[in-house]
């Protein structure tokens, strides 16, 4: 289903004149534009294998048709996104939803598509068919040693799959917690979870990372055993140098200052990466930058400042992943919009004059500091992001090609309209 290069070239030719007008207007007054373009071209966002179908809630799920029927078709869909925006060159698998049937075939497909395997995700928040023991009352926190062992063994198995595929990180998100006061001994739950994570940590290959993802609530609604960044940092500090905290933007209590959390985790060298999405209330898993675009910019501003302060490689040293659910939009259009929003916020953060900003701060010149940030945020950098795509062989306007080529209808013709992809 990949649009051939001619379709992309023809579309770009039609858009080139107006693009160059916008781009040349911008490039006129941005001295370090070449380095910004280099950084944007190198920046790759991993697409979640569980978000290529239509998502839903307990109230309903309304599949849109043409959804991927297996891992091969999920990789085909991500390759489609990557052929259009050249910034989606990685897939993050969720086990057991995406257990590869034939490793060599999947690895060959990945190299054909120019995709790499980002973090592997374990799943001890659902009971699988034929599973011996239930995770109803948690997994690694569980009062019963046998259930904790089952969860540890599952994570070790996920590492095995990842090693075969060439992944080098494991994301552990635990739904563990409690729904009512009195239900849980918080200290024992913490110690059981730490002991279990340590047993997984010991089985990590030398060059692997473990990401400990925190979440304030859902599916437990009184306490969550890895409930916020402080608790995740407590675990990752006790686990060791290969353990890092993963920030899912939707996993915070309302009005949490996520950019400050990111700044401090980065300062401590314990920030592992992100699950990008947006939300208005809870873990809404909405399109990135669709509700709080200024917050996303402020997060990238702290990321660029903090990574440069530690001479980190923007592309390689943190895990950039999307974690979204598409209840009312075409999953592929939604993902194209999410990647675009991430690239826009990154480009705007690269525009911030860090020296002028710091000078204003040293003078407590609040207005000057604010103006430095807002000038960058209010700069329409879309022509710069489009130019980076063009230089990488992508489309100036990915969404218009996806629509003009009626790709969703092509997928429905091939895959049918009833199929529902594995995932949430």
With CB under 6 A as the contact rule, the residue among 73, 176, 248, 372 that binds ligand LRH is 248
Rg (CA), the chain: 22
**Is there a contact between 322 and 338 (Cβ–Cβ < 8 Å)?**
yes
Closest separation between CB of residue 304 and Mn ion, Å? 23
Helix (H, G, I), strand (E, B) or coil at 392: coil
Fill in the per-residue mask, 43 to 72: x = in contact with ligand LRH (CB under 6 A), - = not in contact.
Answer: -------x----------------------
Nearest residue (beta carbon) to ligand LRH: 173
Q: Which two tokens stand for residue 47?
A: 């697409």
With CB under 6 A as the contact rule, the residue among 173, 346, 377, 402 that binds ligand LRH is 173
Q: Which does 283 bind (CB under 5 to 8 A by kind): ligand LRH, Mn ion, none?
A: ligand LRH
**Is there a contact between 122 and 246 (Cβ–Cβ < 8 Å)?**
no
Q: Which two tokens stand for residue 71?
A: 């891992």
Q: Which two tokens stand for residue 388?
A: 């980076």
With CB under 6 A as the contact rule, the residue among 19, 74, 86, 215 that binds ligand LRH is 215
What residues between 297 and 336 interact with ligand LRH by CB under 6 A?
323
Angle between helices 33-42 and 382-391 in degrees, nearest 10 = 60
Burial group, residue 94, by CB count within 10 angstroms (0-12, 13-18, 19+): buried
Q: Which does 346 bind (CB under 5 to 8 A by kind): Mn ion, ligand LRH, none?
A: none
Q: Which two tokens stand for residue 293?
A: 């675009």
**Is there a contact between 423 and 53 (Cβ–Cβ < 8 Å)?**
yes
- Judged by beta carbon, residue 168 or residue 277, the one nearer ligand LRH is 277
Comparing C-alpha atoms, which of 206, 134, 138, 141 is closest to residue 169? Answer: 206
Whole-angstrom Cα distance, residue 142 to residue 79?
40
With CB under 6 A as the contact rule, the residue among 98, 176, 283, 387 that binds ligand LRH is 283
What residues between 307 and 336 interact with Mn ion by CB under 5 A?
323
Q: Is 424 in the site for ligand LRH (CB under 6 A)?
A: yes
Return phi, psi of residue 163, to 5°: -60, -45
Q: Is 77 in the site for Mn ion (CB under 5 A)?
A: no
Q: Is 275 in the site for Mn ion (CB under 5 A)?
A: yes
Q: Which does 54 bind (CB under 5 to 8 A by kind): ligand LRH, Mn ion, none?
A: none
With CB under 5 A as the contact rule, the residue among 98, 118, 176, 248 that binds Mn ion is 248
Q: Is 176 in the site for ligand LRH (CB under 6 A)?
A: no
Judged by the rule CB under 6 A, the positions of this chain that interact with ligand LRH are 50, 121, 173, 213, 215, 248, 275, 283, 323, 424
């Amino acid at each position: 289903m990949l649009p051939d290069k001619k379709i992309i070239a023809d579309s770009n030719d039609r858009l080139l004149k107006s693009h160059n007008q916008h781009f040349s207007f911008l490039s006129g007054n941005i001295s370090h534009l070449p380095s910004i373009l280099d950084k944007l071209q190198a920046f790759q966002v991993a697409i979640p294998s569980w978000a290529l179908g239509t998502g839903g809630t307990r109230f309903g799920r309304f599949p849109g048709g043409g959804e991927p029927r297996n891992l091969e078709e999920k990789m085909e869909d991500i390759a489609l996104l990557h052929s259009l925006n050249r910034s989606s060159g990685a897939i993050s698998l969720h086990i057991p939803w995406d257990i590869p049937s034939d490793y060599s075939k999947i690895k060959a497909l990945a190299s054909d598509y120019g995709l790499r395997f980002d973090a592997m995700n374990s799943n001890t928040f659902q009971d699988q068919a034929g599973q011996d023991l239930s995770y109803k009352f948690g997994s690694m926190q569980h009062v019963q040693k046998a259930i904790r062992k089952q969860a540890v063994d599952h994570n070790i198995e996920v590492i095995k799959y990842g090693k075969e595929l060439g992944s080098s990180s494991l994301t552990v998100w635990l739904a563990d917690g409690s729904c009512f006061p009195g239900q849980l001994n918080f200290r024992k739950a913490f110690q059981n979870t730490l002991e279990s994570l340590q047993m997984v940590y010991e089985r990590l290959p030398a060059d692997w990372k473990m990401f400990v993802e925190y979440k304030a609530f859902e599916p437990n609604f009184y306490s969550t055993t890895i409930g916020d960044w402080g608790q995740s940092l407590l675990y990752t500090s006790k686990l060791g140098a290969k353990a890092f905290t993963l920030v899912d933007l939707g996993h915070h209590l309302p009005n949490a200052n996520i950019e400050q959390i990111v700044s401090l985790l980065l300062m401590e060298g314990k920030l592992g990466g992100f699950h990008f999405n947006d939300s208005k209330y809870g873990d809404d898993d909405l399109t990135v930058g669709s509700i709080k675009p200024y917050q996303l910019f402020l997060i990238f501003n702290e990321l660029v400042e903090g990574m440069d302060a530690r001479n980190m490689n923007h592309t390689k040293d943190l895990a950039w992943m999307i974690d979204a659910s598409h209840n009312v939009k075409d999953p592929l259009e939604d993902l194209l919009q999410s990647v675009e929003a991430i690239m826009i916020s990154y480009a705007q953060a690269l525009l911030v004059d860090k020296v002028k900003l710091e000078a204003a701060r040293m003078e407590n010149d609040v207005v000057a500091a604010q103006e430095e940030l807002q000038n960058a945020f209010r700069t329409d950098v879309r022509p710069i992001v489009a130019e980076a795509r063009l230089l990488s062989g992508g489309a100036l306007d990915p969404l218009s090609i996806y629509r003009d080529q009626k790709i969703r209808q092509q997928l429905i013709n091939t895959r049918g309209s009833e199929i529902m992809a594995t995932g949430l």
